[in-house]
Amino acid sequence: MGLFSHTTAFNGQKYSKLKKECLKRGEKFSDPKFPPHDSSLFFSKQPPGVVTWKRPQDIVEEPRLFVEGASANDVTQGQLGNCWFVAACATLAGVKELWNRVIPDYKDQEYGELHPGIFHFRFWRFGEWLDVVIDDLLPTIDGQLIFTHSREKGEFWCALLEKAYAKLHGSYEALEGGNLSDALVDLTSGVSAHLDLTVGGYTDDFEKRKQLFKMMSKEMNEHALMCCAIAAHNHEEVEMRTNVGLVKGHAYGITACRKINIGDTGLFSLFKGAQKMRMIRLKNPWGEREWNGAFSDGKRRSGFVYTTSQLTKMYSRSPEWSKVSASEREKLGLTFEDDGEFWMTFEDFVEHFTDLSICFLINTKLLSFSKTWHETVFYDAWTIGVRGHNTDRAGGCPNNKDTFLRNPQYRFDVKDEVDDVIFHLMQKDTRDRKQEGIQNLVVGFHVMKVEENRRYRVHRSHDSIATSDYIRTRAIFLREQLKQGRYVVIPTTFKPDETGEFIFRMYTSRDPDAKELTKDEPKIPWYSCVKKPSIVTAVTVKSASDLEKQSSFGGEADSYCIVKCEGETVRTPVAKNTTNPTWDTKAIFYRANPEEPIVIEIWNSNVLVDGFIGRAEVEAPVNATVMQIELPLYGRRKEKTVEKQGKLFVQVYSDDDLTSI
Catalytic residues: 83, 250, 284
Residue 237: count other Cβ atoms within 10 Å of its Cβ.
14
Cβ contacts of 29 within 8 Å, gap of 6 or more:
18, 19, 22, 116, 117, 118, 135, 136
Phi, psi of 182 (to 5 degrees): -60, -45
Cα angle for residues 223, 94, 355 (degrees, 5° grid): 65
Pairing, β 410-427 against β 500-508 = antiparallel
User: What is the spatial distance between Cα 280 and Cα 257, in angstroms, rounded to a whole number?
Assistant: 5
User: What is the spatial distance between Cα 343 and Cα 258, in angstroms, rounded to a whole number?
Assistant: 10
User: What is the spatial distance between Cα 649 and Cα 661, in angstroms, rounded to a whole number?
Assistant: 21
SS3 of residue 271 by DSSP: helix
User: What is the spatial distance between Cα 24 and Cα 30, in angstroms, rounded to a whole number?
Assistant: 15
Q: How many residues are given for the chain?
A: 661
Q: Where are the alpha helices (DSSP H) in 321-480?
A: 326-332, 346-352
Report the first-to-last Cα separation within the chain, whole angstroms: 34
* Helix (H) / strand (E) containing 645: strand 643-655
User: What is the spatial distance between Cα 451 and Cα 485, in angstroms, rounded to a whole number?
Assistant: 8
SS3 of residue 580 by DSSP: coil
Nearest to residue 31, comparing CAs of 43, 47, 7, 15?
15
DSSP readout, 170-210? TSSGGGSS--HHHHHHHHH--EEEEEETTTTTTTT-HHHHH
Pairing, β 598-604 against β 559-565 = antiparallel
- Backbone conformation region of residue 303, classed left if phi is above 0, alpha if psi is from -120 to 50, else beta: left
Q: Return the amino acid letter for 3.
A: L
CB 448 within 8 A of CB 462: yes
User: What is the spatial distance between Cα 75 and Cα 87, in angstroms, rounded to a whole number?
Assistant: 8
User: What is the spatial distance between Cα 91 and Cα 255, in angstroms, rounded to a whole number?
Assistant: 6
Cβ contacts of 347 within 8 Å, gap of 6 or more:
209, 278
Paired with 648 in beta bridges are 544, 631
Cβ contacts of 60 within 8 Å, gap of 6 or more:
153, 154
User: What is the spatial distance between Cα 390 and Cα 520, in angstroms, rounded to a whole number?
Assistant: 9
Cα dihedral 631/636/642/643 (nearest 10)? -30
